Chains A and B, each alone.
Chain A
Amino acid sequence: MAAGNSGREPFVIIVGDPCGEFVRATIRLAQQYEVEAVPCEDVYSAVAVMAGAGGRQALVVGMMQDLAKEDSQFFRIARANALRCCCVVDRGLAAGSRGVLAALQGGAALVGSGPEVDAVFTDWLSNGSGRTARMTLRDLTDEDLRATEAELSALLGQGTDV
């Protein structure tokens, strides 16, 4: 089970019921950031995807009850693969529960609800994913824009009058 064909680009593994709202919302979020999303129905599939990823950076997103199956071993394996985990924790779950402790030991980011995943996503994309941050036109300086114009002209074989 290889994750897509996007070479070395980072991707997101989303663990949970593929028809559930959480997975669908996280896929939409990934699309928004133009990141490949690989839905996995459980931790077993997620581990298989991680192992087949061949060193590609990935963020694993899932609900605590899904990721903590099999004695929370998943967090250790994700950490061993240098993958970041983002875990949505049910508010009712005890802070000292085994799953939470294992997630923290595995370096997972814990959030309280689905929408909070966005912040972890942004942080991972800019710091942990290894991907060059995408910029909008507003992020470019005048100098960048002039350089871009010059590159474009060169590509099109036209002279510039800068």
Chain B
Amino acid sequence: MDRRVCEVRENILDGIDAAVRQRFEAVAIVMEGTSSQLGSALKALRRSTTARIILLARMCEEPIARRLMSESPGAVRLADGYVVCPTCLASLALHAGVQTEAPVPPPSSQPGSQASEPQSQPPREWEERLRYLEQLATTDDLTGLKNRRYLWEFARQILDRARRTSGRVTLLVFDIDNFKHYNDVYGHLTGDEILRQVAVLMRRCCRPHDVVGRIGGDEFATIFWDDPHLAAAERSPDGPEMPHERRSAAAERPPEAISVVKRFQQALGNTDLHLLGPGGEGVLTISGGLASFPRDGSTVEQLFERADQALLDAKRSGKNRIYLVGEPQSDIANLE
């Protein structure tokens, strides 16, 4: 018997058709390229099958995927899980040991064909393997934050999208002031613990969809971006739009990113680091640079380079400050 482990369909309608006919245990949907009507498609799938619905999301689609699988009172949970695929689906599936097949031609060209028995490997098992691989490829094992590879790829994807949607993306690059000193005096284990605490604190201060990662050593980065779903929900239909010519440099500053970073600095100042002895409270500070797309650069490389430069300027100017790219000596602490 021809045992198919996994069938691939090229579009969402063919996918629904196959899922209902063949009663798969799980249906995975690649979010990239699906229309804005993904919610309607998932609703139809949910009503007509008992299959687990898994979303295969690009990094920048993760917040949408998360929202689709969240449960709200009175609403149907549209997906049961999601996997962020940093690489293409086929290679990821291949590495996870899942055998995929070429798209199956529509039934009309296969007269008399019978649906083959789907899946010989339990979907939960390969879903777990996918998650494991995803974690290996994208996570910084010391802090649990995203790693440099993830940050870079995410930035590339989100800039692509921002170009299409006129969205704004802001990059913060920061490091811990005097970290080498702490490492040398208190030892590497203490140094590692400081990195972990800074990571937890930054994650806690950010919005859920902002991406926080560790670039290496004591250097971190955060990507702040507009979530179109949130923006649409929060946008007042009658809200006054500021005329373009009246927008000043101040108006083009990234207010959300600035307020998150200020909150983080404040939280860091209130943290008591017992590891650093009795005087450990408030000793930890950071220096950093904020670069925004499109104002300060249009590519990932440009944004990282300019944010890095602002970080160096902040260090040279005495540390414990965050500079905005393009506004020399503009520590965000002095901004309203």
Contacts and interface: CB of A to CB of B under 8 A. Distances in A.
B11 A45 contact: no
A44 B106 contact: no
B35 A51 contact: no
B107 A80 contact: yes
Interface string B37-51: 100110111011100
Interface string A61-78: 000000001110110110
B13 A70 contact: yes
B108 A51 contact: no
A42 B11 CA distance: 16
B21 interface: yes
Contacts of A42: 37, 40, 44
B201 interface: no
B107 A47 contact: no
Given A69-B35, A80-B106, A81-B107, A52 B48 contact: yes
- The range of chain A's interface size is 20 to 34
27 contacts: A1-B20, A1-B48, A41-B40, A42-B37, A42-B44, A43-B13, A44-B13, A44-B41, A44-B43, A45-B43, A45-B44, A48-B16, A48-B20, A48-B44, A48-B47, A48-B49, A49-B48, A50-B17, A51-B16, A69-B37, A70-B13, A70-B37, A73-B11, A74-B13, A76-B106, A77-B17, A80-B107
Interface of A: 1, 41-45, 47-52, 69-71, 73-74, 76-77, 79-81
A116 B21 CA distance: 33
Contact of A77 (B13, B19, B44, B48): B13
A108 B45 CA distance: 25
B47 A45 contact: yes
The 10 closest A-B pairs by CB, nearest first: A51-B20, A44-B44, A48-B48, A80-B108, A1-B48, A45-B44, A44-B41, A80-B106, A48-B44, A51-B17
Contact of B12 (A45, A70, A76, A79): A70
B37 A73 contact: no
A51 B21 contact: yes
B71 interface: no
B263 to A, nearest CB: 42
Interface of B: 11-14, 16-21, 35, 37, 40-41, 43-45, 47-49, 106-108
Contacts of A69: 35, 37
Contacts of A1: 20, 44, 47-48
A47 B13 contact: yes
Contacts of B20: 1, 47-48, 51-52
Given A42-B40, A44-B16, A48-B16, A71 B107 contact: no
A90 to B, nearest CB: 20
A51 B44 CA distance: 12
B323 to A, nearest CB: 48
Contacts of A79: 108
A77 B107 CA distance: 9
Nearest to B10: A73
A44 B37 contact: yes
Most buried by B among A44, A51, A77: A44
A39 B140 CA distance: 50
Contacts of A45: 40, 43-44, 47-48
